[in-house]
Chain A
Amino acid sequence: MTDSKYFTTTKKGEIFEMKGELNSEKKEKKREAVKKVIASMTVGKDVSALFPDVVNCMQTDNLELKKLVYLYLMNYAKSQPDMAIMAVNTFVKDCEDPNPLIRALAVRTMGCIRVDKITEYLCEPLRKCLKDEDPYVRKTAAVCVAKLYDINAQLVEDQGFLDALRDLLSDSNPMVVANAVAALSEINEASGHPVIEMNSQTINKLLTALNECTEWGQVFILDFLANYNPKDDREAQSICERVTPRLAHANAAVVLSAVKVCMKLMEMMVSDSDYCSTLTKKLAPPLVTLLSSEPEVQYVALRNINLIVQKRPDILKHEMKVFFVKYNDPIYVKLEKLDIMIRLATQANIAQVLAELKEYATEVDVDFVRKSVRAIGRCAIKVEQSAERCVSTLLDLIQTKVNYVVQEAVVVIKDIFRKYPNKYESIISTLCENLDTLDEPEARASMIWIIGEYAERIDNADELLESFLDAFHDENTQVQLALLTAIVKLFLKRPTETQELVQQVLSLATQLCTCRSGGGAEDEKLDSPPLPQPTSVIPSQDSLIGDLLSLDMGPTQPTQPAPSSQGQAVQSTASMDLLGGGFDYLLGPSESPVPQQQQAFGGDAGLLGDIFGVGPGSGASAGFYVPPKQMWLPAAKGKGLEITGTFSRRGGQIVMDVTISNKAMQPMEGFAIQLNKNSFGLVPAAPLNIPHAINPNQSTDASMVLNTNGPVQKMDPLTNIQVAIKNIVDVFYFACIIPIHVFFTEDGQMDKRVFLATWKDIPAQNEVQYTLSNMMLGADTTVLDAVSNKLQQNNIFTIAKRNVEGQDMLYQSLKLTNGIWVLTELKIAPGNPNYTIYMTLRFHMQMLSLKSRASEVAPTVYQAFETILRQQ
């Protein structure tokens, strides 16, 4: 008997005919008719008109017919809610059936009929089934709770089904436990508030069930375990021990979920402990084995491995070879493998990797070839020792004259030039030969950048650049900008010959500007590169996998920028953020990613920034010395983000003043600043507030109030502050020196007698002496006042003045935010023409919060005095 005939009936009046058959007396005919209805339903025909007739067939002892009718009901009940009620009685009756298979079938189907009216009738049978004697019915009922929650969450909570579900976690049957876990996880996610408390007792129960349930049940349980945060590393270790046997399971999903749990728990453990290193060793072989599974599973495994090697490169560092691409791997597997190869490339295996990459660059698939060429460039940047070989490999590839290979090679060679300036310029002539074949904007822009950068070595640089000018208006913005910068660079190097060229490009560029601004806002929108999309609630492919192994989510999930010219670099950093545990983690020893896609004009932008960025911070209390803004993050290092800044003290608080400039081509937003632990416990009191996106070539001033109650870690030098700043593009790091006098507090004036006593008490090793010579302090009579005035404005308070043997003595006190008192004695000797000040500093460290000796603090305090006093 074949069923395919049901698919072929396309006669007119078919529905009517089926209706007749459904109401037939003969059982056999009835069943045939229902099958026909289901077949029509599958191919998308509307057979809802038959609803009452089909429901009439429900009352039957024939299980097969019953299942078919149920299938129909699940599809159409929603469109015919009133009639669906007709079916309720049968369901309720079936839930009492002596046959457990029928009881389960009824409760399973009822949950799938998503009609509000029915759900009320569902509650009683469901409650019974949750306590059914047969585990088959219980496991079906467990899932049914999740179904019901999806329809009516309030009902589930009111009826106490959640408690029943929690009870099922202790069920004697492992499959019931597994389904209960699955249901609870789903409800947990949907409800937004935890519906189940995960304590070590529950976890223990689950771990026991893990050994006995089906492979799928194991996945449910493992995925649930991955959300558990153990109390301490001992508990983490004991869970790990019970999870690791799963790594030998034949089902890849079980293996990957077990890996996920282990990765998560390893976070809890001391990373160099013995257990951790054995665990690391245990994880590698199963991951490698996954690469011999079906290609689709391989793909998922590779996506996960890509994240794992970023988090823990050690795990697979010896397994490079297994990621070599096979000739008949599907393209998606090839591309993922390539990515992982680059991540695993080190000095030790680079030769092998390069040989492979060269092999790949001659394959058929264009995407794959391009990525391989790009990979060669990334190798050069990652492993310095290999740069030369990479460059020669790239040159070989350029000789093949395959158009897209050449273009891709030019792009990566530009990156190599940026990373290793003035090293490989001998190849420029070869590159110039291929100038005509470049038709992609990125390749053209790269080539133009190279010409501009090395203009002095290219005799006909002006001619080459001029050739691009003819079609200036047709070029992509990226190319236009590159051209503009390159010609300006050329002009700076050879001003006499190229003046005309510069004028030409400037006039072309300004023409462009005027017509753009005339075009109004809409035009601008069209021109600006696509903005990153907001993080979607729905998993993009990346977050799907990322979540599967959400190893350690940072506080903010990075938005995935729309595919743009930024391509590679953005992608790699985005996935890195997936792994990163916020800034603190990133501030650690991990190297920051090499900027690969800096804007071509980055270098020059820095120069301009220097000119405009200087200027005292505004609003500081009068007389308080605020150093000029320093260049903290040049645009070249910040992918177009440039930061200058300084510190001051206003209203008793330390304030960080920054000027943020956008030298890139796309708007920047989503700024956040974080400070690494530092000597004075500086932390932001409030997050950096930059309300608007900063558009290209705009800058914004911002101030951030800092507290000194953060964690303390001694830095070298003491006043060094490491800062991380984030925007949508990336996370950047820089260090700056904070002037110590912003830590001098307003209550630093010591009582005279206390001063005297303290001065005497301080032991000799806490005393340091300095000489400030050649000080211009003004007229004789007012010297002392001028000095003490200046110092007082910076919270250095004069306690007493004396004149000893014709020399003026000033006694002063100041207090640092961390409670250190510094007492000073200034002996001011008139000189010719200027003064010399002999300084004695005594440190009173009542609160030794800073575990340093006086000799370490002293130089910075001395410098503060000097800069304040030399200030006119």
Chain B
Amino acid sequence: MIGGLFIYNHKGEVLISRVFRDDIGRNAVDAFRVNVIHARQQVRSPVTNIARTSFFHIKRGNIWLAAVTKQNGNAAMVFEFLLKMVEVMQSYFGKISEDNIKNNFVLIYELLDEILDFGYAQNTDVGILKTFITQQGIKGTQSRQEQTQITSQVTGKITHRREGIKYRRNELFLDAIEYVNLLMSPQGQILSAHVAGKVVMKSYLSGMPECKFGINDKIVLDNKGKTTTDDPSRSGKMSIAIDDCQFHQCVKLSKFESEHSISFIPPDGEFELMRYRTTKDISLPFRIIPLVREVGRTKMEVKVVLKSNFKPTLLAQKIEVRIPTPLNTSGVQLICMKGKAKYKSSENAIVWKIKRMGGMKESQISAEIELLQTNDKKKWTRPPISMNFEVPFAPSGLKVRYLKVFEPKLNYSDHDVIKWVRYIGRSGLYETRC
């Protein structure tokens, strides 16, 4: 497995270096610097082979994280580990930056020692790690009982929650956050569209509560429909077809497989309960109709119509339409009905921002683009028009049906728990070709 792990700054200086195996020498550190960080051209692959050694790297800001192995390792696991490590570090000291890493290098070594043994990933749950590895150094005076409690948590069946949590007010928050992805042809044909959603839960619950979570998943509702003769029209309209979903480590997957029920004991605090993907019956909140006309070699006219397509009572926010312009643009004249529009030469795009927009509305922008004469033979290839937005509903149609909490040992019941549910639809890659 992983033979060594290095963290570099943008100059290629080593900030953290941990070697687990003999076959990885100090020269591996240099090899990566010379061949990847200092390489002239753009990085062509996250996996690099240098002298029979494989380097797996990810980059966060200016910081490079590289895992090295000479064995035939599991590539997916190496990358997942690196990503997880970034997550752990972020939760300890915030942004991954050179300063932060230098400031916390002792902590990072300590964490590495715990989460990676001989190149094999161990428990990486932040909640548990924080119980015994802190920025203030290790608590030297743990009682005997505390020590065994830590070890049983690190290795226990429920590695993501410690025992004995108490809240005066049992409360939980559910956020269904969806990213709508769209690629539309200039003629308005949907080339591809899907929703990538996630359910984020913040739980402030006492004890070891068992939770059961239900959504309007078509499979579940259809099964029910058969047994309890539910109104077919209702379940047909209200349910959604989920292509695929993935769950947090805490969810009992075998139970989901057999009964299609989502049950779990949540970690304390915030975590991502599930991720899902749908492709059917997505309500696209916005539609862009582009009209591009090239008037001669030095002028272009662009007109873009933006239509909102949801309930008039709802309000979309943070709307931004980005219209790419050719590299040889010399000037842009803009007229828009709503919001503010600006030509940003550094980004080669017209950015049109609208703070709020109700449902079933329409707005438009027109632009005259002046071009410089060039003798560049290559035609400008129009990148797609992209947009950003946020809407207060789930474009996939997902609904949370219930979230039941059972805590058999403590005396609070499902009714005593205060629950909050919120739906947010955001733009993922929302593009229209023009």
Contacts and interface: CB of A to CB of B under 8 A. Distances in A.
Interface string A409-436: 0000000000000000000000000000
Contacts of A536: 52
B75 A44 contact: no
A641 interface: no
A540 B54 CA distance: 8
- The listed residue with most B CB atoms (<10 A of its CB), out of A35, A139, A214, A304, is A214
A38 B109 contact: yes
Contact of A2 (B103, B113, B147, B253): B103
A289 B162 CA distance: 31
A299 B118 CA distance: 26
Interface of B: 1, 13-17, 19-22, 26, 29, 42, 44-47, 49, 52-54, 56, 58, 70-77, 79-83, 99, 102-106, 109-110, 113, 117-118, 120-125, 132, 137-138, 140, 142, 144, 147-148, 150-152, 154-157, 159, 183, 191-192, 194, 196, 243-249, 252-254, 256-257, 272, 274-275, 277, 377-379, 381, 383-384, 429, 431, 433
A192 B277 CA distance: 43
Nearest to B431: A327
A287 to B, nearest CB: 9
Interface of A: 2-4, 6-7, 35, 38-39, 42-44, 61-64, 67-68, 71, 75, 98-101, 104-105, 108, 111-112, 114, 134-137, 139-140, 143-144, 146-147, 150, 173-176, 179, 182, 186, 189, 211-212, 214-216, 219-220, 223, 242, 244-246, 248-253, 255-257, 285-286, 288-289, 292, 294-297, 299-301, 303-304, 321-322, 324, 326-328, 331-332, 359, 362-364, 367, 400-402, 536-541, 543-545, 547-548
Nearest to B253: A245
A643 to B, nearest CB: 36
Contacts of B22: 114, 150
Given A100-B148, A101-B147, A324-B183, A244 B257 contact: yes
B244 A285 contact: yes
A242 B257 CA distance: 9
A655 B18 CA distance: 61
A285 B416 CA distance: 38
Contacts of A321: 191-192
Given A173-B155, A216-B124, A252 B15 contact: no
Contacts of A292: 196, 277
Given A292-B277, A539-B54, A253 B192 contact: no
Interface SS of chain B: mixed
B77 A42 contact: no
B105 A39 contact: yes
A574 to B, nearest CB: 16
A297 B79 contact: yes
Contacts of B247: 248-250
A44 B45 contact: no
B49 A540 contact: yes
B117 A143 contact: yes
B351 to A, nearest CB: 17
Nearest to B69: A539
Contacts of B157: 174, 212
Return the 4 tightest CB-CB contacts between A and B, nearest first: A285-B244, A538-B52, A136-B151, A4-B102
A250 B54 contact: no
A257 B74 contact: yes
Nearest to A8: B102
A294 B79 contact: yes
A139 to B, nearest CB: 6
Given A42-B15, A134-B151, A256 B76 contact: yes
Given A135-B152, A322-B192, A401-B377, 5 more contacts: A3-B105, A63-B138, A135-B155, A328-B429, A362-B381
25 contacts: A2-B103, A39-B105, A64-B110, A101-B150, A134-B148, A136-B150, A136-B154, A139-B155, A140-B117, A179-B117, A211-B252, A215-B124, A242-B254, A250-B272, A251-B80, A253-B79, A257-B74, A289-B243, A289-B275, A292-B277, A327-B431, A332-B44, A538-B54, A539-B71, A541-B45
A211 B113 CA distance: 26
B102 A7 contact: yes
A150 B73 CA distance: 16
A362 B379 contact: yes
A349 B92 CA distance: 49
Nearest to A105: B113
A150 B21 contact: yes
B151 A101 contact: yes
A216 B102 contact: no
A62 to B, nearest CB: 6
Contacts of A543: 72
B139 to A, nearest CB: 9
Contacts of B113: 67, 71, 105, 108
B66 to A, nearest CB: 12
Contacts of A114: 22
A297 B49 CA distance: 17
A367 B45 CA distance: 13
Given A257-B76, A297-B83, A321-B191, A42 B14 contact: yes
Nearest to B101: A4
Contacts of A135: 151-152, 155-156
A683 to B, nearest CB: 34
Contact of A299 (B46, B196, B249, B377): B46
Nearest to A138: B155
B138 A300 contact: no
Contact of B249 (A6, A112, A214, A245): A214
Contacts of B44: 331-332, 367
Contacts of A39: 105
B83 A294 contact: yes
Contact of A249 (B21, B49, B191, B253): B253
Nearest to A173: B155
Contacts of B383: 327
Given A3-B104, A289-B246, A541-B54, A246 B253 contact: yes
B54 A544 contact: yes
Contacts of B431: 327
Contacts of B137: 64
B29 A44 contact: yes
B254 A245 contact: yes
Nearest to A292: B196
Nearest to B116: A216
Nearest to B30: A44
Nearest to A363: B381
B210 to A, nearest CB: 16
A250 B105 CA distance: 29
Contacts of A214: 122-125, 159, 249
Nearest to A176: B155
A216 B17 contact: no
B153 to A, nearest CB: 9
Contact of A143 (B82, B99, B120): B120
Contacts of A108: 113, 117
A300 B106 contact: no
Given A111-B118, A146-B118, A136 B381 contact: no
Contacts of B26: 44
B217 to A, nearest CB: 13
B75 A548 contact: yes
Contacts of B75: 300, 303, 544-545, 548
A61 B140 contact: yes
A297 B76 contact: yes
A232 to B, nearest CB: 23
B131 to A, nearest CB: 11
A461 B27 CA distance: 57
B275 to A, nearest CB: 6
Nearest to A4: B102
A541 B53 CA distance: 10
Contacts of B194: 322
Given A101-B151, A285-B277, A248 B246 contact: yes
Contacts of A245: 253-254, 256-257
Contacts of A253: 74, 76-77, 79-81
